[in-house]
Amino acid sequence: MHVEGTPDRWRATGATGATVFFDMLDGLAPVRNVLGVGDPDVHHVDGRWTMFLGGFTTRFRVALFVAVLPPGAPLSSQDWALLTDPRHPRRAVPLTPDPPRRAWDRKGMHAPSYVRGRRRDGTEEERIYYAGRSSASTTGPSSHRAAATQSAACDGPSPAGDGTGDWSVPRTLFTTQDGYFDNAVQQVDDHYEMVVARGTNLHGTDDFPPQGLWWLRSERPSGQRADWTPDPVRLLDADHQPLEWFANGGCGPSFHYGDTHADRDTLYVFFTGAHAKINWLTTALGRLAHLRRPPVPAPYHLATGRIAIRGPIT
């Protein structure tokens, strides 16, 4: 349990920095058709570490993209790169074509989640689950989002069509008082672990719920709150002395333990952070004075990176 005034697990393990892979404030060079990415979902796919992301494009749409590490590179590597068109190396390739004009996800696809399993007939299938948006607005009452997350079956993993499954009635794991917005769950050895985050404070609103990342454990993949850690362990405190790129919170976590002997007890948590709010004109003029590109004009700026926490976590 995190007690006010004590360091979070990230700081308690002696961490002094964090790695940023894609920063909207600095641009995603050499890629030019994507302004920013978020909600990383990291998996080991076909022999290499792969990251699925939602990305805001220069066409003012949100599409799904893929970043990868070099084949054979360990999870600790920092060499993530968006997959690009071989003929146009500055153009990141969307994972799917644009949805039809009247589709439920016509204005954006984000928060991807990759799964791989077997159908009832024994054949293997890959899927990308994602959230969609049907209006141009990203916030406010007009930002219509799908009532339920849908899925797309994929091969390779290029989605081939929409798919639905037989789902049980949802159970409430956390209430609105808990305020957790995003979560990631996976089996770790003989138990299950979860990392949760609250919605980021994109606009620097006062009296916003505490920001950061929290960890829980259960002996089974349970939908019952009582089966999980009673008091979530605070991995990251984004409210007290945060790094600039997650000064307004973090969201969209994905996590894995290291894949080499040297770091097998290290928990790598990937997430998207919201930068501290900037004065765009002042920042742009300062960068131009140093012959640097100005930041993308936007109401907020996101960055995707990771923190490393040496375990075990208890």
Q: Model confidence over 127-168: pLDDT tens digits?
A: 999 988 766 555 544 444 433 323 333 344 633 335 455 777
Question: Closest Cα to residue 67, out of 88, 47, 43, 87?
Answer: 43
Q: How many CB atoms lie within 10 A of CB 192?
A: 18
Average pLDDT of the segment spanning 59-82: 95
Average pLDDT of the segment spanning 176-201: 92
Contact 308, 31 (CB under 8 A): no
CATH hierarchy code of domain 9-310: 2.115.10
Give, as one character, the DSSP assignment of residue 246.
G
Average pLDDT of the segment spanning 204-223: 92
Has residue 237 got a pLDDT over 90? Answer: yes
296 vs 36: CA distance, rounded Å? 9
Q: Which of 125-139, 168-182, 275-289 has the lowest mean pLDDT?
A: 125-139
Average pLDDT of the segment spanning 301-305: 97
208 vs 226: CA distance, rounded Å? 27
Average pLDDT of the segment spanning 57-78: 95
10 vs 19: CA distance, rounded Å? 13
Edge-first strand listing for the sheet containing 19-23: 19-23, 302-310, 266-274, 250-257
Edge-first strand listing for the sheet containing 233-237: 180-188, 191-198, 212-218, 233-237
pLDDT, residue 183, reads 93
Has residue 283 got a pLDDT over 70? Answer: yes
Q: Is the pTM of this model over 0.75?
A: yes
What are 125's two structure tokens? 């299938």
149 vs 182: CA distance, rounded Å? 13
Longest dimension (CA), the chain: 63
Locate the domains of the chain by residue range.
9-310
